[in-house]
Amino acid sequence: MAELQEVQITEEKPLLPGQTPEAAKTHSVETPYGSVTFTVYGTPKPKRPAILTYHDVGLNYKSCFQSLFQFGDMQEIIQNFVRVHVDAPGMEEGAPVFPLGYQYPSLDQLADMIPCILQYLNFSAIIGVGVGAGAYVLSRYALTGLTSSISEMILGHLFSQEELSGNSELIQKYRNIITHAPNLDNIELYWNSYNNRRDLNLERGGAVTLKCPVMLVVGDQAPHEDAVVECNSKLDPTQTSFLKMADSGGQPQLTQPGKLTEAFKYFLQGMGYMASSCMTRLSRSRTASLTSAASIDGNRSRSRTLSQSSESGTLPSGPPGHTMEVSC
């Protein structure tokens, strides 16, 4: 979903004593059913949904909702929530007239645009405020929001927001693969199972932990980077290698197969396999700084941290019992 425009504006409204104008940003993003424009007021509040409005026929967001959100008693509410005002296609101020023969989206398709907006803003929950046709659109979204946008939801799971906004050939390829998959219904069932997964309840030093060698790999700015970092903190450091790849996004095996292959070879060598395997020309020419430190009580295995530039990407081979945190 590519951003078409972003402008800084100030809402025109009478201010109460002591109030300052709210800053607003207007965005347009492409969806499978055309471009949609929306205006955001305020900043996201931790652990709070956004208020999202959708106007009725013959109106736009200002003519439909401005009086309500300018009302004095409403100020206490809007100070505690970020607001997203959606304009139906062609209803925003200054919108050009659609060409003759243009097929306007159905109300169901308008509802299908909402997940694209939320994906762009990285919002996971909303409080919907709709009037007339807008109320129908929001109701339809509430009924079918996940199902109707399954491909976009999965893309947001696979790739970072930066990758999706860049809309590279890779993103276009996988959007086409997922959107037009003949087994999309089966994919949705797999997706639902994933979303209903149970926590592994891993605990470093506890009864539930992985006792085998583990290599964790995550791309920088990946959608679930924090989750992988947290997982690493719960695993046995003497059995775990943690690799964070630069310029790889959410799918390192697609974007950085060379670096990942090298790291995998080193991981296998650390387990005692492929001892005579040759590394690539790049890995033989690379240098790295390595620091080692023994634990105070002497009972724990040594831990090692490898710091490398973004051009590197190798893991030093070594016997099991070492935790390696690599940024490459």
pLDDT confidence of residue 319: 43
Break the chain into its structural domains and give their ranges. 25-94+105-146, 148-180, 214-271
Please state, in angstroms and rounded to a whole number, the distance separating the CA atoms of residues 328 and 314: 8
Q: Is the pLDDT of residue 104 over 90?
A: yes
pLDDT confidence of residue 304: 33
Q: Considering the chain, what is the average pLDDT of its residues?
A: 77
- Listed in sequence order, the residues at least 6 apart from 261 whose beta carbon sits closer than 8 Å to its beta carbon are 280
pLDDT bracket for residue 138 (50, 70, 90): very high
pLDDT bracket for residue 281 (50, 70, 90): very low
Q: Is the pLDDT of residue 285 over 80?
A: no
What CATH homologous superfamily does 25-94+105-146 map to? Alpha/Beta hydrolase fold, catalytic domain (3.40.50.1820)
pLDDT confidence of residue 208: 86
Task: Tell me phi and psi for residue 214, to 5 degrees.
Answer: -135, 135
Cβ neighbour number for residue 179 with a 10 Å cutoff: 14
Share of the chain above pLDDT 70, in %: 76
pLDDT confidence of residue 18: 52
Q: Is the pLDDT of residue 63 over 60?
A: yes
Question: Is the four-CA dihedral 43, 76, 68, 56 of positive or negative sign?
Answer: positive
pLDDT bracket for residue 278 (50, 70, 90): low
pLDDT confidence of residue 65: 92
pLDDT bracket for residue 277 (50, 70, 90): low
pLDDT in tens, 209-249: 888 888 899 988 888 888 899 999 998 888 898 989 888 88
Pairing between β-strand 289-293 and β-strand 126-130 as defined by DSSP bridges: unpaired
pLDDT confidence of residue 150: 77
pLDDT confidence of residue 211: 85
pLDDT bracket for residue 57 (50, 70, 90): very high
CB 262 within 8 A of CB 314: yes
pLDDT in tens, 152-208: 788 888 988 788 878 889 988 988 888 888 888 888 888 888 888 888 888 888 888
Q: Is the pLDDT of residue 312 over 50?
A: no
